Amino acid sequence: MIHKFSISNFHSVREEVVLDLRIPGTAPDLPRFRRSTAKPDIRLPSVVVLIGPNGSGKTTLLRALIATTLIASFASSTEKTGPLKIFLPFFSEKTRNEPTRFCLEFEADWLGKAHQLFRYELAVICGGNDPFFSYEALSYFPKGRPRRLFERGRPEEPIYVSKEFGLKPKDDRLQAVRADTSVIATLALLNVPLAMHIANWMEFFLATTNIGLHERWALPTQRVMDMFEIAPDMESWVRNHIRSSDLGIQDITISDQSGKKEVFFDHHGLDTPIPLSFESSGTKRLFHLLPQIGIALPSGVPAVLDEIDGDLHVDIASEILSWFHSRDVNPSDAQLFVSSHNVGLLDHLEKEEIFIVEKDSSGATRVHGAQDVQGLRRDTRLYPKYRAGMLGGIPKIG
């Protein structure tokens, strides 16, 4: 589970913004709050919702999270500056040549069966034509204090690696780390076991998000059909949830039409199956979105979904949130990170699950948690409080 994430100098984010997900000890012990397996005294939300006006930076925050995992899992022996191309600093002369910084604190089982708390930090200089890492480090906290697994500085500086990687200080594989490529991703490409384990975990994020390098995307229909063929349980799960979301759909079938497989929907009262392309935007959205959620829930990998409510009724969106709240449906403690404009979801959430995203007078994104709003009682509805401006994040129209 993710404990904390901070960003600075990335797209609309200028000064550091922090998503600190650790729940205060004064909050009630609700089933939707999960105890950290690495730090049992810490509780974390299973759902994190970003609310705010259009253009406030909600997608930017989610994209930064995905960019962090993409950086650590992508390496190519030929293509240069792949993921670093998206590391655009805040648009001002002052920040153009300053580093973009990400810091992710999370728990994983990379060093054995027991979960540990890890911190992955990186800084990238993007002002010129050739972006490069000015800092990258991975640490863990075996006894409460950080211990480095690796650390690098600017390109001319040596790379430190701990014994856990099984490399000597002058190992040739360290010389293969380019200035524009992550240490983790490079060592994974060179078959270093621990690095491969970490990169595979990071890469899993890309299967459970609808955020691409530049815009939202959806699983291709062919890939969904391939997943159904490999995992019939996934097909059954998606079918059942689509049927429960649309009263007219009785079944989903995949048929071979002139040598090409196509998806059809059987509707109550209709004699002819309807192809996916003729279905409503909401049904098509569910068909491509549900498999990603179906991957996250059993695996425990976070799902990062931009505009969860796009094309979906608020009751369907709230139902999806409830799956992550449920210990029965979500036994692996997967987290759901979403942005939304549907403020009706607020009445289905606790204040520890809500982060308000706004822009200040300079056009920079700022974030605060609803739990930080003074005087916000737990026994009141959050929707009217938001509409009254108590939480912030209200668009200014006119």
DSSP states along 235-266: HHHHHHHHHHH-TTEEEEEEEEETTEEEEEEE
C-alpha separations of 279 from 218, 265, 266 in Å: 16, 8, 11
For 108, the 3-state DSSP assignment is strand
In the predicted structure, residue 372 carries a pLDDT above the cut 60 = yes
In which band, very low, low, confident or very high, does the pLDDT at 191 lie, cut at 50, 70 and 90? very high
Which has more confidence, 181 or 247?
181
Residue range 165-179: mean pLDDT, rounded:
91
Residue 380: how many CA atoms within 13 Å on its side-chain side? Answer: 13
Chain segment 203-230, per-residue pLDDT in tens: 999 999 999 877 889 999 999 999 999 9
Name the segment(s) of the chain with CATH classification 3.40.50.
1-208+304-398
> Quick one: pLDDT at residue 375?
87
Distance, in Å, from the CA atom of 339 to the CA atom of 310, rounded to the nearest integer, reads 10
Token pair 């210990």 is found at 327
> Quick one: pLDDT at residue 237?
96
In the predicted structure, residue 184 carries a pLDDT above the cut 80 = yes
Distance, in Å, from the CA atom of 106 to the CA atom of 21, rounded to the nearest integer, reads 10
Token pair 């994190």 is found at 48
Distance, in Å, from the CA atom of 288 to the CA atom of 252, rounded to the nearest integer, reads 13
In which band, very low, low, confident or very high, does the pLDDT at 143 lie, cut at 50, 70 and 90? confident
In which band, very low, low, confident or very high, does the pLDDT at 259 lie, cut at 50, 70 and 90? confident
Chain segment 44-94, per-residue pLDDT in tens: 999 999 999 999 999 999 999 999 999 999 876 666 556 787 778 898 888
Residue 176: how many CB atoms within 10 A of its CB? 14
Q: What is the dihedral of CA 353, 29, 66, 71, to 10 degrees?
A: 140
> Quick one: pLDDT at residue 81?
53
Q: Are strands 100-108 and 354-359 parallel, antiparallel or unpaired?
A: unpaired
Question: Do 312 and 321 meet the contact criterion of CB atoms below 8 Å apart?
Answer: no
> Quick one: pLDDT at residue 182?
95
Strand partners of residue 18: 6
Query: Cα angle vertex 364, ends 362, 365, to 5°?
Result: 145
Distance, in Å, from the CA atom of 38 to the CA atom of 44, rounded to the nearest integer, reads 12
Distance, in Å, from the CA atom of 109 to the CA atom of 117, rounded to the nearest integer, reads 9
For 328, the 3-state DSSP assignment is coil
> Quick one: pLDDT at residue 10?
94
> Quick one: pLDDT at residue 391?
93
Amino acid in the structure at residue 59: T
Question: Do 348 and 340 meet the contact criterion of CB atoms below 8 Å apart?
Answer: no
Query: 1-208+304-398 in CATH: which number?
Result: 3.40.50
In which band, very low, low, confident or very high, does the pLDDT at 120 lie, cut at 50, 70 and 90? very high
Distance, in Å, from the CA atom of 101 to the CA atom of 5, rounded to the nearest integer, reads 11
Distance, in Å, from the CA atom of 310 to the CA atom of 285, rounded to the nearest integer, reads 8
Residue 389: how many CA atoms within 13 Å on its side-chain side? Answer: 2
Chain segment 96-111, per-residue pLDDT in tens: 889 999 999 999 999 9
| Residue 229 phi, psi (nearest 5) | -70, -40
Burial of 90 (0-12, 13-18, 19+ CB in 10 A): buried
Q: Is the dihedral angle over the CA atoms 25, 108, 73, 175 positive or is it negative? A: positive
> Quick one: pLDDT at residue 94?
87
In the predicted structure, residue 385 carries a pLDDT above the cut 80 = yes
Mean pLDDT of the chain: 93
Which of 210, 223, 181 has the alpha carbon at shortest distance from 77?
181
Cβ-based neighbours of 379, under 8 Å, separated by 6 or more: none
> Quick one: pLDDT at residue 398?
65
Distance, in Å, from the CA atom of 115 to the CA atom of 332, rounded to the nearest integer, reads 13
Distance of CA 122 to the CA centre of its chain: 17
Q: Are strands 336-340 and 47-51 parallel, antiparallel or unpaired?
A: parallel
- Percent of the chain surpassing pLDDT 70: 98
Residue range 15-28: mean pLDDT, rounded:
96
In the predicted structure, residue 129 carries a pLDDT above the cut 80 = no
C-alpha distance across the termini of the chain, in Å:
41
Cβ-based neighbours of 42, under 8 Å, separated by 6 or more: 3, 22, 23, 35, 36
Which has more confidence, 294 or 380?
294
Structure tokens at 294: 């179906």
pTM of the model: 0.94
Question: Do 306 and 338 meet the contact criterion of CB atoms below 8 Å apart?
Answer: yes
Token pair 């006119």 is found at 398
Chain segment 292-346, per-residue pLDDT in tens: 999 999 999 999 999 998 889 999 999 999 999 999 999 999 999 999 999 999 9
